[in-house]
């Protein structure tokens, strides 16, 4: 897409800038924007970026009545994490080059721009405010979870066996160099995490974390031997939006692709069920949900034995959500009480799942 000046913050998103950006992107026939009203949305949901709804008034012509403006976090520590992990550039590249090939309901992307090696980026997207969202701490109900699982299976099936190519080397894998570096940091992060959030961990959580802190990289390498697909890597309910009709083909819209990656499908499934439903509901419905995922991805043509799915799923619980909870809890500026509560719930839920399944039995370390 064509490039114009990237706003440093929401104060630089003016009516004139928005009109220029939309016309430089997909809205070539946009009318003349007279004024906009910006309102921040989703505060405390994401720690890496900020979202604003721009309600638009036109002096002539027509166009979207509102768009979503995505900008980087204004917290210095979070912005640096986004730079170090390549997350800002990755989301722009996803919308520019991968979205059209991805079987998932995505917001229409009107315009993207980023500056390599910096936190400077902006994405203008469709306003999906008519869809509903679920508070992650509350957790999805069973019907919402089933809809999210069907959406995830379609996403994975559309890229199954197609991501280990030269063209997609820019998409980080679960054994990317940054994961090696993260493994080296795990013991330090674990020491930083425990004083803040150790009290929320389930029985056996500290002992499990002690083991994982020194075995993380070896465990990841074993996990990575399973078949690969495209991963969202942050497939949790705060990044999902639900239609009223949960049985509709596109009942779930998937947002926030900053963490897009490559690796075994079990990662996204474990991350969803490990963090976006209560521990009690996961334990009650887990077997049903795993079979729903397996039935759907098999229906879509993927040859994936249920036994292999289960192994990948449990292994992913060991190395996935636990690590995200520790990283964010140890180092990120969580911004407000909701952010702190979110990370606390992640720690409680994501550590409970691998303990419930005795996840260490699936590794040789």
**pLDDT tens, position by position, 288-334:** 999 999 999 999 999 999 999 999 999 999 999 999 999 989 987 66
- Spatial distance between the Cα atoms of 90 and 95, rounded to a whole number of angstroms: 9
pLDDT at 335: 63
Over residues 19-33, the pLDDT tens digits come to 999 999 999 999 999
Q: What class, spelled out in words, does domain 142-362 have in CATH?
A: alpha beta
pLDDT of residue 158: 97
Cβ–Cβ < 8 Å for 218, 365: yes
- pLDDT for res 191: 97
**For each of the chain's 365 residues, which pLDDT tens digit applies?**
445 999 999 999 999 999 999 999 999 999 999 999 999 987 655 568 899 999 999 999 999 999 999 999 888 888 888 888 889 999 999 999 999 999 999 999 999 999 999 999 999 999 999 999 998 889 999 999 999 999 999 999 999 999 999 999 999 999 999 899 999 999 999 999 999 999 999 999 999 999 999 999 999 999 999 999 999 999 999 999 999 999 998 999 999 999 999 999 999 999 999 999 999 999 999 999 999 999 999 999 999 999 999 999 999 999 999 999 999 899 876 667 877 888 899 999 999 999 999 999 999 99
pLDDT of res. 62:
96
pLDDT of amino acid 44: 52
The reported pLDDT for the residue numbered 360 is: 97
Query: Closest Cα partner for 90 from 41, 49, 50?
Result: 49
**For the chain, domain boundaries:** 10-126, 142-362
Task: Please tell me the predicted confidence (pLDDT) of residue 46.
Answer: 55
For residue 11, what are the contacts with CB-CB under 8 A and spacing of at least 6?
A: none
**Site of tokens 């996204």:** 268
pLDDT 10s digits, 230-250: 999 999 999 999 999 999 989
Outline where the chain has alpha helix (H).
15-24, 76-84, 87-93, 142-159, 177-197, 205-223, 266-275, 279-299, 306-319, 321-331, 337-356
Per-residue pLDDT, 338: 78
CATH architecture of structural domain 10-126: 2-Layer Sandwich (3.30)
pLDDT of residue 334: 64
Q: Pairing relation of β-strands 121-126 and 32-41? A: unpaired
């Amino acid at each position: 897409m064509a490039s114009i000046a990237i706003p440093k913050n929401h104060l630089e998103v003016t009516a004139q800038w928005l009109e220029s950006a939309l016309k430089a992107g997909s809205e070539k026939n946009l009318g003349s924007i007279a004024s906009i009203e910006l309102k921040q949305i989703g505060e405390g949901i994401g720690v890496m970026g900020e979202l604003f709804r721009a309600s638009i008034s036109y002096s002539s012509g027509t166009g979207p009545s509102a768009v979503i403006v995505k900008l980087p976090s204004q917290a210095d520590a979070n912005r640096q994490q986004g730079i170090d992990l390549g997350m800002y550039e990755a989301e722009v590249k996803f919308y520019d080059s991968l979205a059209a090939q991805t079987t998932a309901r995505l917001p229409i992307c009107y315009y993207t721009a980023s500056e390599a090696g910096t936190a400077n980026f902006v994405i203008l997207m469709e306003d999906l405010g008519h869809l509903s969202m679920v508070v992650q701490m509350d957790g999805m109900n069973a019907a919402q979870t089933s809809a999210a699982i069907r959406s995830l299976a379609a996403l994975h099936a559309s890229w199954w066996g197609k991501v280990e190519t030269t063209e997609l080397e820019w998409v980080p894998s679960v054994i990317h160099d940054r994961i090696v570096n993260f493994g080296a940091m795990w013991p330090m992060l674990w020491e930083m995490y425990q004083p803040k959030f150790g009290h929320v961990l389930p029985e056996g959580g500290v002992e499990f974390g002690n083991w994982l802190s020194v075995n993380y990289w070896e465990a990841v390498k074993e996990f990575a031997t399973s078949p690969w697909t495209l991963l969202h890597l942050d497939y949790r309910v705060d990044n999902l939006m639900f239609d009223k009709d949960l049985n509709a083909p596109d009942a779930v819209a998937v947002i926030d692709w900053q963490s897009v990656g490559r690796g075994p499908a079990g990662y996204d499934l474990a991350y969803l069920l490990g963090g976006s439903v209560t521990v009690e509901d996961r334990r009650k419905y887990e077997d049903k949900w795993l079979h729903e995922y397996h039935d759907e991805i098999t229906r879509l043509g993927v040859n994936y034995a249920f036994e292999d799915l289960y192994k990948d799923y449990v292994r992913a619980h060991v190395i996935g959500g636990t690590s995200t909870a520790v990283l964010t809890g140890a180092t990120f500026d969580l911004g407000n009480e909701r952010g702190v509560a979110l990370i606390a719930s992640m720690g409680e839920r994501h550590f409970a799942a691998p303990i419930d399944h005795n996840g260490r039995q699936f590794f040789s370390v």
